[in-house]
A = this chain, B = another copy of it.
């Protein structure tokens, strides 16, 4: 058992898999000599050398094209896109090439690759360095999408993503890099497509992802003392999606709230709402409510960013208002 930060867990997860599999290689901007701009990959160059851990130019299309070409010819590359916002400069390689080529070739090609990226806000970096882009990826058939919320999940889901034979978009929550958690010694391997029930309640079910998970947990504690007993589900993986757990936990309480860092329109919460409103409509006791960042670009100022992203207070107030009306 050790206490590890979320940031340290990244390198730990990657190293664990690079040790057992020579075909795992890693490329990206400033990931080798510098150990990553978020210091998430410190030590990997030293342990695995410059042939397996390579710095690249600022050429995101080349980075992901290289990962794709390597994956289709037998390697298991990990590529870093420094900030998730930068997916926009290489989106074609992700959505038109990596996501579709297995299907288009009728299964002739396989793309065992992981694209890691720093996701989300909270660091006052402004609109072009703070986006939560999990929905950009969830929207595209052929991509798996993983967003861990704890150091332990980082390691286990990273290992599962690297071992998976499909392309995985692995989003690391920038706001969580400094958070700590217990991690067992030895290898950790988790399962993609499994949500976690973090708290069981009887009145309402809060469904959260990534950086919103600890906030949902804190909100649930506050709500409990105000007499509203909430289940909290950490989705962890948007594709594959653990609809069994989600449907079961919403059925059990009859009320569903999503807590989403993304701007509202077409967020994963909308997708979940539509699944629930279709498949367990008659188990619902009241409206489905989404708590999201408003549909605006994220502002840079700390005061404004804090107003934008769902806070514990906003979660508590929204749930209370809806449950008491």
CB distance from A94 to the nearest CB of B (A): 8
CB distance from A291 to the nearest CB of B (A): 11
- Which of the listed residues A142, A277, A288 has the most CB atoms from chain B within 10 Å of its own CB? A277
Interface residues of A in 260-282 (CB under 8 A from B): 263-271, 273-274, 276-279, 281-282
Which residue in B89, B267, B281, B299 is a CB contact (below 8 Å) of A287?
A: B281
Which residue in B99, B100, B267, B288 is a CB contact (below 8 Å) of A266?
A: B267
Q: Is the CB of A296 within 8 A of B103?
A: yes
Which residues of B sit under 8 angstroms from A265, Cβ to Cβ?
138-139, 141, 239, 271
Which residues of B sit under 8 angstroms from A263, Cβ to Cβ?
139-141
- The reply on A284 being an interface residue by CB < 8 A is yes
Which residue in B136, B142, B288, B290 is a CB contact (below 8 Å) of A281?
A: B288
- Which of the listed residues A95, A270, A282, A286 has the most CB atoms from chain B within 10 Å of its own CB? A270
Which residues of B sit under 8 angstroms from A274, Cβ to Cβ?
269-270, 273-274, 277, 288, 290
- The reply on A313 being an interface residue by CB < 8 A is no
Q: Is the CB of B139 within 8 A of A127?
A: no
Which residue in B141, B277, B297 is a CB contact (below 8 Å) of A277?
A: B277
Which residues of B sit under 8 angstroms from A282, Cβ to Cβ?
287
Which residue in B85, B103, B139, B288 is a CB contact (below 8 Å) of A139?
A: B139
- The reply on A88 being an interface residue by CB < 8 A is yes
- The reply on A96 being an interface residue by CB < 8 A is yes
Which residues of B sit under 8 angstroms from A89, Cβ to Cβ?
91-92
